[in-house]
Structure 1
């Protein structure tokens, strides 16, 4: 049994139909963190239609750090991430994509960067310097990142990387909307916090298929990008004190 009060880090992993990836990724997370910090792993199953949930239930008997949250209806990655963060007991959150392309061995690197950073840096975002995706996906991401950077001025070369480290309280204070996970550095900056991009490893998908394609990302992204730009333009911040 894990002492909830002792947990300092929660690793949140949203998944949908990733039965072949959950076992290897959970074991990699454990190997990366057991000698580093007190942690828990919070998987959020987004109403998978394969045996993802059954695989996670089996893993719970093997991995005491593992918790599983189950969606009763498919809601998407942003909602799964947010529900995982809400369920988490650590003050800091590390996120990973459930497809195994993010490397859990990078989490200690992010923790080290956090420990040496000023207190107003609330997010450490992974930066996939050498992506292991198809040429079309790399091209689409490069194009999307360039447009996003020109509109949002978030100084983040790879906002779509799934591995991130951030303060739980700061995240839950952000405005919530579907697909918000693609704009977290800009939203953190809007809230008055600083963010840092950290080069991380990226790996080919070992099993399963991607849940996104370039067209649906582009169509949704255009609308979301204008919405986030509006949120940034309408932001108002000030300090307050009790008297």
Structure 2
């Protein structure tokens, strides 16, 4: 594995023993012509996720496996992976296999061709393979968030994103930050873009979120991000004299 890959693919997983190995192989195939590392962050899974991923390292030399000693949530797992990443470009995917890794290279291409001010290209899921209740709740939540934050995003819940590592590390960290990356990137003066990606049925495991849980967390998170937006002061560039 190259010590300085071009792309780091970061995948947070929690109790995804059934989905993780196939997803890792798909990622390797999707980026076969690129110099990448694949970082799975096991968020203290209670099943055999860590075991199956550790065994897979012999097959996929670009695979790295990190493990939280205590369950800390999806946002912390993403941040752990980004902190450990060695590439300037990060691609994130959900660990349940519903994001298609084949869509990843197109997001990366859009990011790197968009110039240095473009810091994030997010996927927007088409033909979502979720329950009707989840789709309605997501549509409502995205509409409220977009109106209040002005982040131009139609689907911040999509785990498939490509972004610049340095820009991510400039953002203030909090739990559930992964749903507010577009708004926070804009707050720092960067540009964001979006393009459609596929979505697949979950084949194994179970969702870690409920509609009620999302609603409770989103209410306080929205207020917090709105406050952060009001407290932003940018110098419009820095000159060394």
Q: TM-score range by the shorter chain?
A: over 0.9
Distance 2:120 2:112 in 1: 12
Please say if 1:203 is aligned against 2:194.
no
CA shift digits 1:15-35 (9 cap, x unpaired): 000000011100100110012
Distance 2:240 2:112 in 1: 30
Please say if 1:186 is aligned against 2:180.
no
CA root-mean-square deviation: 0.7
CA shift digits 1:71-115 (9 cap, x unpaired): 000000000000000000011000000000000000111122123
CA shift digits 1:113-143 (9 cap, x unpaired): 1233132111000000221100000000000
Query: What residue in structure 2 maps to residue 81 of structure 1?
Result: 78
Q: Which runs of 5+ in 1 are unaligned?
A: none
Query: What residue in structure 2 maps to residue 212 of structure 1?
Result: 209
Q: Name segments (4+ residues, structure 1) moved above 6 Å.
A: none
Q: How many pairs were matched up?
A: 240
Name the TM-score, length of structure 2 as normaliser. 0.98
Aligned 1:2-81 pairs, distance under 5 A: 2-5=1-4, 7-35=5-33, 37-81=34-78
Match of 2:222 among 212, 220, 225: 225
Name the TM-score, length of structure 1 as normaliser. 0.97
Query: What residue in structure 2 maps to residue 136 of structure 1?
Result: 133
Please say if 1:165 is aligned against 2:162.
yes
Distance 1:17 1:207 in 2: 10
Query: What residue in structure 2 maps to residue 126 of structure 1?
Result: 123
Distance 2:133 2:2 in 1: 45
Query: What residue in structure 2 maps to residue 99 of structure 1?
Result: 96
Distance 2:132 2:26 in 1: 27
Distance 2:18 2:106 in 1: 26
Shift of 1:148: 0.1
Distance 1:130 1:123 in 2: 22
SS at match of 1:240: coil
